[in-house]
Chain A
Amino acid sequence: MSYSITEPSSRQKTVAGFLVITYSLVTLIPLLWVFITGFKTPPDSISYPPKVFFTPSLEGYVNLFTTRTRVTPEQLEALPPPANFAEEIVRNRKMVIAGPSKFGERFMNSVIIGFGSTFLSIFLGTLAAYGFSRFKVPLKDDLLFFILSTRMMPPIAVAIPIFLMYRKLGLSDTHLGMILLYTAVNISLAVWLLKGFIDEIPREYEEAALIDGYTRFQAFYKVVLPQAATGIASTAIFCLIFAWNEYAFAVLLTSGNAQTAPPFIPTIIGVGGLDWPAVAAGATLFLLPVLIFTIFLRKHLLRGITFGAVRK
């Protein structure tokens, strides 16, 4: 039988496929469970044995976005018929909608702070990485080491100094404060990752652009940036994931105005008993932006290294 050393046999492919699918299932089941729980009713969510088959309900999502008050059966009778499906679900539990919850606001805070700090990290990181990659910077190696050293301890180790500093500077519980904090944590990662990518782009391209009549900055913008797109995209995803999921500083430094979703979601539990569907609904919605962002940038991630028109 003919065979190729580089091409795996069909049996090897089957085994590999089986392993990959098994691994994916194991890692995806918790996420799937969260997703499903979001569509259960509170009694279904805590029933034992756990229900795999159930009648889906939007109660979790309604509870996530609203605050509700309990009313007497007489009061419930006196009300006009429910205006929409949300009210109907709530009234079945002998309650009425009192107003919107803070989830939407907290979610927007997460979006502003997460994407804001990602943008700032990438913006500053790309410029710094380009500088380190291309120019003679005095003490370059030391500076790069200092930048990396900010990552050598868990960020939360400096929580107290930062807490005191932020209180003095009036940055506590502000969007700007959180954006700056997450940028400070992410920027070392961004500089190091991006420097690696920019180092890979031959200088000849910029030199060609300089001779073609462009300034150094235009050459950077028109020739280096498009080629660093892959690196920028993957770095952005790393930065966003950190800023999006960060919990400890968010708990410590935000309480109202700039509170992000991670510290908010657990507080749902305390509002009306153990409302797991609402928590699961919140977690599901919270996963979406990173998922969408990653899918959106996937093209750049998968494209890999461009085989440049420079011969080495």
Chain B
Amino acid sequence: MADIELNAISKRFADVTAVDSMSLQVSDGRFVVLLGPTGAGKTTTLRLISGLETPEEGSVHIGGRDVTSESPAQRNVAMVFQQYSLYPHLTVRQNLEFPLKSPVLKTPSGEIKNKVQEVAEVLQISHKLSNKATELSGGEMQRVSIGRALVRSPSVFLMDEPLSSLDAKLRADLRIELKRLQSELGATMLYVTHDQVEAMTLATEVGVLDEGQLVQFGTPREVYEDPNSIYVATRLGLPRINTLPSDLFGAAPTGASTIGLRPEHIKFGEGKECTVTRVEHLGDQTRLHVELEGHRLITLADVNSAVGVGDALKVAPKNPLYFDADGQRIRH
């Protein structure tokens, strides 16, 4: 296993700057999740690390070695693709053997057999080994593609939204499995997603990306509780953080133009009067949509709350987050 270091890498496609002078440090054995919407440069970052793309500027180091000009094969990284990318003309076993038989690894056949068996058992696909890769369900395909990354014991694992095409239950199951595998192997993992639940549950560190730049990096808690900007604050947290004019509740720090209120920043029973416009019972939580002087707010109520549409409530901020006109956080 090894660490990954990106030094101010940039990548442009025609007029679009996909990755803009990004620096990132992934320490050995860490599970780093890159979070961002489509087009933020997450996948390009992974492809730059894997060697499928080469940066115009900057350098990539894996395990202390400068690999910027090396081919993907030389870098010894494993990558799991969003679309599985299992070789359709091969069986599950042949898919798992494929990296081991490569000219880079040239594994002896006895060892190949053991490793494939071992990985198949870990991922519970032993009974499917002789199936064609196309004869599997989505969950099984993604297990095989994770298996293909596991068999070769690479220096780092790169995962490009591996769970996004699976249904909710499988996604939850595989999420737990991935986390377990990673801690058992002590593997360095760089994982890309737009799903904040994956980021919060899997990551030791989260990197939030915006237009090719790394805007914040820290533990999930740090990023959630202490966001640098409105952009970062809106990436984490369900329901999303409410943003309102900063003077709505009275005095605000100088320079502040927006106040950010997560559900835990809203105190009931005092402050401004507002009206409940909708109540959503989600089972484990109850969401209240309220209207406050022409602004809409979404917050959480007690699960057993008897609040109904049309009810009047009083709300006040509690340790809210303030942002300036550019959306940057104002700390005080």
The reply to whether A311 and B52 contact each other, CB–CB distance below 8 Å, is no
Q: Which residue of B lies closest to A312 (CB)?
A: B83
B34 to chain A, nearest CB (A): 18
- For residue A209, CB closer than 8 A to chain B, the reply is yes
Assuming the contacts A209-B98, A307-B134, A309-B133, asked whether A215 and B71 have C-beta atoms less than 8 A apart, the reply is yes
Stretch binding the partner chain, chosen from A55-63, A200-208, A269-277: A200-208
The number of residues on chain B lying at the interface, defined by a beta carbon within 8 Å of a beta carbon of chain A, is 32
Query: Which residues between 142 and 167 of chain B lie within 8 Å of chain A, taking CB atoms?
Result: 148, 152, 165
The reply to whether A308 and B104 contact each other, CB–CB distance below 8 Å, is no
B87 to chain A, nearest CB (A): 6
Using an 8 Å CB-CB cutoff, how does the interface string of B48-77 with A read, 1 for contact, 0 for none?
001110000000000000000001110011
The number of residues on chain A lying at the interface, defined by a beta carbon within 8 Å of a beta carbon of chain B, is 23
Query: Interface on chain B toward A: helix, strand, loop, or mixed SS?
Result: loop
- For residue A245, CB closer than 8 A to chain B, the reply is no
B94 to chain A, nearest CB (A): 10
The reply to whether A309 and B85 contact each other, CB–CB distance below 8 Å, is yes
B326 to chain A, nearest CB (A): 38
Q: Provide the residues of chain A in CB contact with B165, threshold 8 Å.
A: 311
Q: Provide the residues of chain B in CB contact with A312, threshold 8 Å.
A: 83
- For residue A67, CB closer than 8 A to chain B, the reply is no
- For residue A2, CB closer than 8 A to chain B, the reply is no
| In the bound complex, CA of A310 to CA of B142 (Å) | 10
Q: Provide the residues of chain B in CB contact with A211, threshold 8 Å.
A: 50-52, 72-73, 77-79
Q: Provide the residues of chain A in CB contact with B133, threshold 8 Å.
A: 309
The reply to whether A210 and B52 contact each other, CB–CB distance below 8 Å, is yes
Q: Provide the residues of chain B in CB contact with A213, threshold 8 Å.
A: 73, 76, 99, 102-105, 152
| In the bound complex, CA of A212 to CA of B147 (Å) | 12
Assuming the contacts A213-B105, A309-B134, asked whether A208 and B87 have C-beta atoms less than 8 A apart, the reply is yes
Using an 8 Å CB-CB cutoff, how does the interface string of B74-96 with A read, 1 for contact, 0 for none?
00111101011111110000000
| 9 cross-chain pairs, A with B, having the tightest CB-CB distances, nearest first | A213-B102, A213-B104, A309-B86, A212-B99, A204-B85, A308-B88, A226-B89, A208-B85, A210-B72
User: Can you list 25 A-B pairs, Cβ within 8 angstroms, ordered by A?
Assistant: A205-B87, A207-B52, A207-B72, A207-B85, A208-B79, A208-B87, A209-B87, A210-B51, A210-B71, A211-B52, A211-B77, A212-B98, A212-B99, A213-B73, A213-B76, A215-B103, A218-B103, A223-B87, A307-B88, A307-B134, A309-B86, A310-B83, A310-B85, A311-B83, A311-B84
